[in-house]
Amino acid sequence: MGQHYKEIAAIALKRRADAIPKKYLLPESALTNLPLNLTTIPKSSGHFTPAELEIIEADAEEILLKIREKKWTSLAVTEAFCKASIVAQQLTNCLTEILFPEAIARAKSLDEHLEKTGQVVGPLHGLPISLKDCMITPPHPSSIGMACYANEATDEETVLVGVLARLGAVFYVKTNVPTAMMMMETVNVVWGETNGAYHCGTSCGGSSGGEGALLAMRGSPLGIGTDIGGSIRIPSAFNGLYGLKPSFGRFPVYGGKSGITGQDFIYANNGPMSRSLESLKLYCRAVLSTESSPWNLDPKCVPIPWREEVIQPKGRKLRFGIVFNHDGEIHVQPPIVRGLAMTKKALEAAGHEVFEWEPLNHPAMVDEMNRSFHTLGAAAILDLTLQNEEPVYGSMKNYEATYQKGEHGTLGPTKLREMIIKRNAYQKAYLDAWNATAKDGKGVMDGIIIAASPWTAPRLGLTQEIFCVNYTGAFNILDYPVCTFPVTFADKSLDLPRKDWTPLNELDGKIQADYDPEFYHGTPVTLQCVGRRLEDEKVLEMTCAIAEALKAHS
């Protein structure tokens, strides 16, 4: 047995507490009688100067421009986000490692460089970027929510971290994740639980949940998440953000810490999350530039620089398939139904076509994913958590059961080959179905619009009993690029519980029974826009068309 997880956690928590400059903290008196909607606090608290507020409300594009034009320094920008991240930490518990001294030193040196040479070091010069805990920034620990790693120094930088640093980014915080990054809410025995930003009684999602809460709280202009079953998109959805899960091979993934090391059945990806869609674009453009050439650093990266204006002719009308109501297994809650209807109406008003899309094999694909997580992940995770006597969370009980039955040990090459054959067949079937949408002289469907989750943002703790990553997971099996987009917020006067409907199964019934208009009022309604494999640029352009249509229609 190793050290008990509680002793490990105490050391990590002290390190985090000691790294917080007292001047950034909201006073204790400001932490009582909190509103449910925590995102209003930075503005309403009086804790930030007007100049700081202007910075933390700005998007990455504006920040980079102002730094380049020497209207803002990277130092002032970095300090404002350091402060805002601490306020976010106080209200949502979203941070793990705090890197302020090196961030401040880095910002100063970037300012000096610009002053001396008149040149920026790269397209991200001076921009604070927050990192999910699995991104390795030596020598800081990368716990990924597990006691065994929580106080362990690291030495090999994640490839993406190096790329971003060379482009000019400033790293100042790392953000919380669930144990092994394998739950859909963010809680672990080291750092505790992170709550949602728009409703403090809801989950921030997972596994990039700390990022989700931090970004919505204005504690970061741009964050990096990772996604194997929905881990960028679920927290983006629960916190009303844009988040891109790319196709595998576009962005460098080498050297990130993984919950299930070595499995390649479902590819793990990383991608940007932000309150602004333009910020995602500028990130993609910068990371996939010839200047950074990540394909020379990661053998899995395809040498395709980011392409501009791939939808041709420019501004042409798009054809969207939409999944309404349910995916064959789970109905979405009423605010999501309204969000889907709003999006359809807005797109049609802008001249685009929206037709109903049958979610082909979604339940079967997610079932395959579910089993693969347990068979491939049971030993990878439990061998580590058991060392430090970590308890097993509700939604991870299947890992424990698989481990205890010894099923992970009997997986073997034959079963793995069978899994891969099935996965490949699902990918082929989806490709054929997509391709077959070309009809009546019209080209193939451009994209799919579908919920990111049956919930807007579930109550804290609920997903330990009712686990459902079905809406995101199907696209991990397919390896399709997906971007989330915020539509509106749940409204108790508009989003009434379903009546006269038949649950498809027990869990489906439980999810609708959980819906309470009063409780969920104000939680974000966020959907996914899906493209075909390696059409990452098109996905962002389609998301842009959707956002414009929604804006014009509101």
Ligand X SMILES: *[C@@H]1O[C@H](CO)[C@@H](O)[C@H](O)[C@H]1NC(C)=O
Whether a cis peptide bond, with omega within 30° of 0, leads into 258 is no
Give the closest residue to 354 by CA, choosing from 546, 554, 552, 524: 546
Q: Any known ligand binding at 220?
A: no
Burial class of 345 by CB neighbour count within 10 A (0 to 12, 13 to 18, 19+):
middle
Instruction: Specify the 3-state DSSP secondary structure of 508.
Output: helix
229 assigned binding-site residue: yes
Report the residue number, 162 or 363, with the smaller CB distance to ligand X: 363
Residue placing its CB nearer to ligand X in the complex, 166 or 439: 439
For 535-539, the CB contacts below 8 A with 24+ separation are 535/247, 535/310, 535/481, 536/244, 536/246, 536/247, 536/250, 536/284, 536/481, 537/284, 537/306, 537/307, 537/308, 537/310, 538/310, 538/311, 538/446, 538/447, 539/244, 539/447, 539/481, 539/482, 539/483
Residue nearest to ligand X (CB): 522
Q: Give backbone dihedrals phi and psi of 42, rounded to 5 degrees, phi first.
A: -50, -45
Let me know: does 228 contact 285? Beta carbons within 8 Å.
no
**DSSP-derived pairing of the beta strands 170-175 and 128-132:** parallel
* 531 labeled part of a ligand binding site: no
207 annotated ligand binder = yes
Task: Confirm whether 85 is a catalytic residue.
Answer: no
Angle 42-85-335 from CA coordinates, rounded to 5°:
65
Can you read off the two tokens belonging to residue 184? 């859909």
The full 3-state SS of 48-69, as one line of letters, equals: CCHHHHHHHHCCHHHHHHHHHC
Is the Cβ of residue 6 or residue 428 nearer to ligand X in the bound state?
A: 428
Q: Is 162 annotated for ligand binding?
A: no
The one catalytic residue in 142, 143, 231, 236 is 231
Q: Which of 132, 245, 257, 344 is catalytic?
A: 132
> Which candidate in 130, 142, 207, 395 is catalytic?
207
CB of 41 to ligand X, least distance (A): 9
Least distance from ligand X to the Cβ atom of residue 93, Å = 19
Between 369 and 462, CB nearer to ligand X: 369
Binding footprint of ligand X on the chain (CB under 6 A): 37, 39-40, 198, 329-330, 366-367, 369-371, 374, 398, 402, 435-436, 438, 444, 467-470, 473, 489, 505, 507, 522
State the Cα–Cα distance between residues 393 and 23, nearest whole angstrom.
36
Question: How many angstroms separate the Cα of 135 from the Cα of each of 206, 227, 464?
Answer: 16, 13, 26
Residue 119's contacts (CB-CB under 8 Å, 6 or more residues apart) are 113
Catalytic site includes residue 422: no
Q: Give me the least distance between CB of 511 and ligand X, in Å please.
A: 9
- To ligand X, the closest distance from the beta carbon of 552 in angstroms equals 19
- Tell whether residue 258 is among the known ligand binding residues: no
Whether 483 and 243 have beta carbons less than 8 Å apart is answered as yes
Say which residues have a Cβ less than 8 Å from residue 194's Cβ, sequence separation at least 6.
Answer: 92, 93, 94, 176, 186, 187, 204, 209, 210, 213
231 is catalytic: yes
* Residues paired with 128 in a beta bridge: 170
Shortest separation between residue 439's beta carbon and ligand X, angstroms: 9
Q: How far is the CB of 307 from ligand X (least distance, A)?
A: 21
418 CB burial (10 A radius; 0-12, 13-18, 19+): exposed
H, E, C per residue of 290-316: CCCCHHHCCCCCCCCCCCCCCCCCCCC
Question: Closest approach of Cβ 63 to ligand X, in Å?
Answer: 19
What is the length of the chain? 554
Q: Which of 523, 477, 469 is nearest to 329 (CA)?
A: 469
Which of residues 424 and 435 has its CB atom nearest to ligand X in the complex?
435
Question: In 458-536, at which residue ranges do the beta strands (DSSP E only) sit?
Answer: 482-489, 524-530
The smaller minimum CB distance to ligand X, of residues 281 and 374, is found at 374
- Contact criterion met (CB below 8 Å) for 362 and 451: no
Catalytic residue annotation? 132, 207, 231
Binding-site residues, in ranges, read 181, 207, 228-231
Binding-site residues for substrate, in ranges, read 181, 207, 228-231
